[in-house]
């Protein structure tokens, strides 16, 4: 899909990957609604976009795990620019590390990292089928293909996000709906470093597992990868190409891969056995 003159909603757009995506979309001629739980952050991104291309973007503060607020974002896009062509389900949280976390924390991770995607798709897909065109971009993580050391909630919900994106692609791909799934490793955002700043040894482990596994990319580079994939209508977006090699190794010999991951975990914990 060419994004020129298309209408896009970017969630988690107040910075990081979402902010970079919004900027790149506008630079390529799209009209963008930038949504974030922090309305001031979303407004700042829009101010920068509109300084380069006046009127290309509007901002909104929104909890994008809430169906009513997603519906309001879609209505805002419609009133400002026209029907939504692309939806970037980019908002995400790491959640607490470990297994011993509360039901509320599990619910919040599932709501933001998975149900937000499901609820948006439920609102958008029927109209896209009717129009014969639409694009859903899910921000998951390499953790959704591999795993995330230290954080059960993040790993589980990102696996689920990949699974949901796959299902959408298979189920509606022949009806004009395009779906891509972004699975990066380390990206230089607040989210990446939240674990090491949590005071929890498992949270610190989660951050170090990512930062030592490969290059930490800048959000703009990741956004370039996403826009290239949309242009090609390619499902899996891997800004870190080595993730594909790791994924293949996992599928080739699952037990060996699990042993290797435990060994990697021990090395990060300073163990030698």
pLDDT confidence band for 272 (50 / 70 / 90): very low
- Whether residue 70 is contained in a domain is answered as yes
Q: Is residue 272 part of a domain?
A: no
Buried b (16+ CB within 10 A) or exposed e, 155-166: bbbbbbbbebbe
Per residue in 4-61, pLDDT (tens digit) is 999 999 999 999 999 999 999 999 999 999 999 999 999 999 999 999 999 999 999 9
Q: What is the mean pLDDT of residues 240-244?
A: 95
Confidence of residue 273 (pLDDT cuts 50, 70, 90): very low
In the structure encoding, which two tokens stand for residue 127, read together? 């109209």
The secondary element (H helix, E strand) that includes residue 75 is: helix 67-80
CATH number reported for the structural domain that contains residue 152 in this entry: 3.40.50.720
The answer to whether 154 is a known catalytic residue is yes
Q: 134-179: per-residue pLDDT in tens?
A: 999 999 999 999 998 888 999 999 999 999 999 999 999 999 999 9
Q: Is residue 265 part of a domain?
A: no
User: Which is catalytic among the residues 154, 172, 193, 254?
Assistant: 154
Q: Is residue 97 part of a domain?
A: yes
118-122 contact pairs (CB < 8 A, 24+): 118/164, 119/65, 119/66, 119/67, 119/70, 120/11, 120/64, 120/70, 120/87, 120/89, 121/87, 121/164, 121/168, 122/67
Q: Work out how many domains the chain is built from and give that number.
A: 1
Instruction: Write the pLDDT tens digit of every residue in 83-127.
Output: 999 999 999 998 888 888 999 999 999 999 999 999 999 999 999
**Which range of residues forms the domain containing residue 188?**
7-244
Axis crossing angle, helix 152-172 with helix 103-110, rounded to the nearest 10: 30
The answer as to whether 68 is a domain residue is: yes
What pLDDT was estimated at residue 271?
53
pLDDT at 212: 81
> How many residues can be counted in the chain?
273
Question: What per-residue confidence (pLDDT) applies to 98?
Answer: 87
Query: Which pLDDT tens digit goes with each residue over 181-232?
Result: 999 998 998 777 776 676 778 768 878 778 887 789 899 999 999 999 999 9
> Does the residue 1 lie in any domain?
no
Q: Which two tokens stand for residue 152?
A: 């059960």
Q: Say if pTM beats, i.e. exceeds, 0.85.
A: yes
């Amino acid at each position: 899909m060419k994004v020129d003159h298309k209408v896009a909603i970017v969630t988690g757009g107040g910075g990081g990957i979402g902010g970079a995506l919004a900027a790149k979309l506008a630079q390529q001629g799209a009209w963008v609604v930038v949504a974030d739980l922090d309305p001031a952050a979303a407004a700042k991104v829009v101010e920068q976009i509109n300084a380069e291309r006046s009127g290309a973007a509007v901002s909104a503060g929104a909890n994008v795990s809430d169906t009513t607020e997603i519906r309001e974002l879609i209505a805002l896009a419609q009133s400002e620019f026209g029907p939504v062509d692309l939806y970037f389900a980019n908002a995400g949280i790491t959640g607490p590390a470990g297994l011993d976390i509360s039901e509320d924390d599990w619910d919040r991770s599932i709501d933001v990292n998975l149900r937000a995607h499901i609820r948006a798709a439920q609102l958008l897909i029927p109209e896209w089928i009717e129009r014969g065109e639409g694009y859903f971009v899910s921000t998951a993580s390499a953790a959704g293909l591999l795993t995330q050391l230290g954080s059960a909630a993040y790993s589980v919900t990102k696996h689920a996000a990949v699974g949901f994106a796959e299902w959408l692609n298979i189920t509606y791909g022949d009806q004009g709906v395009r779906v891509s799934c972004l699975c990066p490793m380390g990206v230089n955002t607040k989210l990446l470093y939240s674990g090491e700043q949590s005071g929890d040894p498992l949270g610190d482990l989660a951050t170090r597992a990512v930062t030592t596994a490969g290059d930490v990319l800048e959000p703009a580079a990741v956004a370039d990868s996403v826009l290239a994939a949309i242009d090609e209508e390619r499902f899996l977006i891997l800004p870190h190409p080595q993730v594909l090699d790791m994924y293949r190794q996992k599928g080739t010999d699952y037990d060996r891969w699990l042993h290797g991951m435990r060994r990697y975990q021990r090395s990060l914990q300073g163990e030698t056995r």
